[in-house]
Amino acid sequence: MRRSFIIIRHTLLALLVLHCFLAASAQESQNKNSGGNKESSQSGLTGAGAGDGKTMAAKSGRADGLGNLSLGGDRRPLYRLRPSDVAEVTFTISPEFNQTLMVQPDGYVSVKDAGMLYVQGLTMAEFSDAIRRAYRGYLHDPVVAVALKEFEHPYFTVGGKSGGPGNTSCAPTLPWLRQ
């Protein structure tokens, strides 16, 4: 009895070590596939302010660099622009270029003095970079701030039977409230 307990304990320990080894090798292979481009701050934190001092997420396209694909995918993906989204573009040094832009159904926005830009599917950081590139011909090193003002809010659709507007079938029936 005691001998079988020892064998089971050693087997479980060996499986635990194997599992840790496989997880470490999966992470290492992912780092190699992403170019091994790791930046770390002095405090050991990632996210805004990490690395070279720029205010930027550790990995582009993901909030705080989270989202190990081998462990289940993106946990907090960044918002991507969709048709009918409204963004406010503010130029710090040149306020005459400030504007509010709406993403058209075809995915384009009409930018003042810079033409049309395809922005559907871009994150806000990518959208800011696209605006900055569009105005490089007009402004030297433009400083741009982009804020999402309106977007399609999540909504719910409920199906089922109803007695009419304001009269749901799940409301309690109280005899003294009947008219």
SS in 3 state form for the chain? CHHHHHHHHHHHHHHHHHHHHHHHHHHHHHHHHCCCCCCCCCCCCCCCCCCCCCCCCCCCCEHHHCCCHHHCCCCCECCCCCCCCEEEEEECCCHHHCEEEECCCCCEEEECCCEEEECCCCCHHHHHHHHHHHCCCCCCCCCEEEEEEECCCCCCCCCCCECCCCCECCCCCCHHHCC
What's the pLDDT band for 167 if we cut at 50, 70, 90? low
Q: Which of 135, 123, 151 is nearest to 56 (CA)?
A: 123
> Tens digits of per-residue pLDDT, 112-160?
988 999 999 999 999 999 999 999 888 888 899 999 999 887 777 777 7
CATH number of the domain at 86-150, out of 3.30.1950.10, 3.40.50.720, 3.40.50.261, 2.30.30.40?
A: 3.30.1950.10
Distance CA 89, CA 147 (A): 7
What's the pLDDT band for 173 if we cut at 50, 70, 90? low
| Phi, psi (deg, nearest 5) at residue 131 | -65, -45
The model scores a pTM over 0.75? no
| Phi, psi (deg, nearest 5) at residue 102 | -115, 130
Residue 64 has pLDDT above 60, yes or no: no
